């Protein structure tokens, strides 16, 4: 039976196996206990509140209701936001001034998965140590049971989508975008982005062709927004003569792009274009993770900006952004973090920023991409236990000890001609190996130098 995956990204598992209603119930009790220890000074009478949202997976109501029962039993009140994008949950947590938030989501994982993503009061994901503590409380069954006078209270709030759209619109020139009457194709993969996407693009005067736009949780294709899953989007962009195609993941925190020629240009370009757009108006510090393209460094350098890199994981990037006062940041998996909206990856501000860039420059996506530094990135992964992944990391570190290494997260080796990053996945029982260079040939050569060290 598959085991629960516990990482900085939260908890993920397979429904009916490692993640069941009783498991979600006990994680609710564990999270409640964690909050009472840290957010309520250990008092069972502390009036703690949690905002709860979920993506559209068909297992979502079961997991969310079980989690809610656990939180209420611990004496923590729950405000249920319903089917809501992850960045919207983070925004609502701040708006409602809750002590924390939880999103029931497995992000890009296949439909048999679901998970729990724990967010702090400010919307940032809890660091890995806190998630491990929640897991330890869960494993040790160190729960308290609230009495009739202190059980949590349950309520609902449906304002999240409208509030999120309203917030995003503050940071783009909506009037200038609307004047162009852009035609856009968006694939919301029957996920949580189905609701706010037409709201936002409608406010921007966009003619929207919405693929997979019902939040049924019955994903029309494999949900990760990568090239092999987006053939229909590419075809429709070309057929409709649209200016861009947007592809979200099920919890709508990531965004991939298709240009006006129907070409998938990838997730890496989402952050690169967002950084370019932000640098045009406010140059400054950019924060991204170790697995993100050097395009970001080159773009920031054009504006005398600085790039700071962190371990992979939204929480790591967001925490560093707040620490250093970054103007933009995110991850190369299509995750744009604009601190003006919130310290989380957000496909909605990403879409609006791309359209704002088109309007501001008068250029097409293809023209903008051709003006950016050109790199070739190869992403590979293979099944690996935590021990096997660590063995590979140790071997790579030893083999390349004389090179420029960054060991914040696995190991990254940097050469003048490119780089390779080797790390255990935060969300799946796999190891990831990513290489980037100016040409595919060089990237593959660098990748092969590392992959031959794989344990058998």
The predicted structure's pLDDT at residue 42: 40
* Fold match, 5-158 / 163-370: yes
Q: Which two tokens stand for residue 394?
A: 């140790």
Q: 328 with 306: CB under 8 angstroms?
A: no
Tell me the C-alpha to C-alpha distance, in Å, between residue 257 and each of 186, 276, 369.
10, 15, 11
Per-residue pLDDT tens for 303-328?
Answer: 999 999 999 989 999 999 999 999 99
pLDDT, mean of residues 73-81: 97
Q: Which two tokens stand for residue 315?
A: 């929480």
Q: C-alpha angle 282/284/288, rounded to 5°?
A: 115
What's domain 376-451's architecture? 2-Layer Sandwich (3.30)
With bands split at pLDDT 50, 70 and 90, how would you rate the model's confidence at 44? very low
pLDDT, mean of residues 286-299: 97
The predicted structure's pLDDT at residue 6: 87
The predicted structure's pLDDT at residue 47: 84
With bands split at pLDDT 50, 70 and 90, how would you rate the model's confidence at 1? low
Residue 293 known to be catalytic: no
Q: Catalytic: which of 107, 188, 291, 425? A: 107
Superfamily of domain 163-370: Alpha-D-Glucose-1,6-Bisphosphate, subunit A, domain 3 (3.40.120.10)
Q: Which residue has the higher pLDDT, 156 or 384?
A: 156
Spell out the domain ranges in the chain. Answer: 5-158, 163-370, 376-451
Bridging pattern class, strands 418-424 and 430-437: antiparallel
For 338, the 3-state DSSP assignment is coil
The predicted structure's pLDDT at residue 385: 85
The predicted structure's pLDDT at residue 124: 93
Bridging pattern class, strands 154-156 and 77-83: parallel
Q: At what angle do helices 60-73 and 21-38 cross, to 10 degrees?
A: 40
Per-residue pLDDT tens for 188-242?
Answer: 999 999 999 999 999 999 999 999 999 999 999 999 999 999 999 999 999 999 9
Cα separation of 151 and 148, whole Å? Answer: 6
Q: What is the CATH number assigned to the segment(s) 5-158?
A: 3.40.120.10
With bands split at pLDDT 50, 70 and 90, how would you rate the model's confidence at 43? very low
| % residues pLDDT > 70 (the chain) | 98
Residue 270 clears pLDDT 80, i.e. is over it: yes
The predicted structure's pLDDT at residue 341: 97
Average pLDDT of the chain, as a whole number:
94
DSSP string for residues in 255-269: EEEE-TTS-EEESHH
Cα separation of 204 and 86, whole Å? Answer: 22
The predicted structure's pLDDT at residue 39: 74
């Amino acid at each position: 039976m598959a085991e629960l995956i516990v990482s900085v990204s939260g908890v993920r598992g397979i429904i009916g196996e490692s993640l069941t209603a009783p498991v979600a119930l006990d994680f609710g009790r564990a999270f409640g206990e964690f909050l009472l220890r840290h957010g309520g000074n250990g008092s069972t009478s502390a009036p703690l509140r949690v905002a709860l949202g979920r993506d559209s997976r068909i297992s979502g109501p079961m997991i969310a209701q079980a989690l809610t029962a656990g939180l209420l039993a611990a004496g923590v009140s729950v405000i249920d936001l319903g089917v809501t994008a992850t960045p919207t949950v983070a925004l609502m947590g701040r708006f409602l001034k809750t002590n924390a938030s939880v999103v029931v989501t497995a992000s890009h994982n296949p439909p048999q998965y679901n998970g729990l993503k724990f967010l702090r009061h400010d919307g940032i994901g809890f660091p890995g140590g806190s998630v491990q503590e929640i897991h330890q409380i869960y494993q040790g069954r160190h729960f308290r049971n609230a009495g009739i006078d202190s059980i949590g209270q349950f309520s609902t709030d449906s304002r999240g989508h409208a509030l999120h759209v309203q917030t995003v619109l503050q940071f783009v020139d909506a009037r200038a975008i609307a004047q162009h009457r852009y035609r856009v194709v968006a694939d919301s993969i029957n996920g949580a982005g189905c609701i706010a996407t037409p709201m936002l693009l409608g406010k921007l005067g966009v003619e929207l062709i919405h693929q997979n736009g019902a939040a049924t949780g019955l994903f029309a294709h494999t949900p990760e927004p990568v090239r092999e899953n987006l053939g229909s989007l590419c075809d429709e962009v070309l057929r409709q003569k649209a200016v861009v195609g947007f592809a979200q993941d099920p919890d709508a925190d990531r965004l991939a792009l298709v240009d006006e020629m129907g070409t998938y240009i990838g997730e890496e370009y989402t952050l690169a274009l967002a950084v370019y757009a932000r640098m045009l108006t406010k140059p400054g510090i950019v924060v991204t993770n170790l697995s993100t393209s050097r395009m970001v460094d080159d773009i920031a350098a054009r504006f005398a900006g600085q790039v700071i890199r962190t371990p992979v994981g939204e929480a790591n990037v967001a925490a560093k952004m707040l620490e250093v006062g970054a103007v933009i940041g995110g991850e190369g998996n299509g995750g744009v973090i604009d601190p003006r909206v919130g310290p989380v990856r957000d496909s909605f501000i990403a879409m609006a920023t791309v359209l704002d860039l088109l309007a501001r420059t008068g250029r097409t996506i293809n023209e903008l991409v051709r003006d950016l530094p050109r790199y070739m990135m190869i992403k590979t992964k293979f099944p690996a236990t935590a021990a096997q992944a660590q063995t590979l990391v140790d071997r790579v570190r030893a083999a390349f000890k004389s090179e420029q290494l960054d060991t914040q997260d696995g190991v990254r080796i940097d050469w003048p001609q490119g780089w390779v990053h080797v790390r255990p996945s935060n969300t799946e029982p796999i190891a990831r190996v990513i290489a980037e260079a100016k040409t595919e040939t060089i990237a593959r050569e660098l990748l092969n130098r590392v992959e031959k060290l794989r344990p058998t």
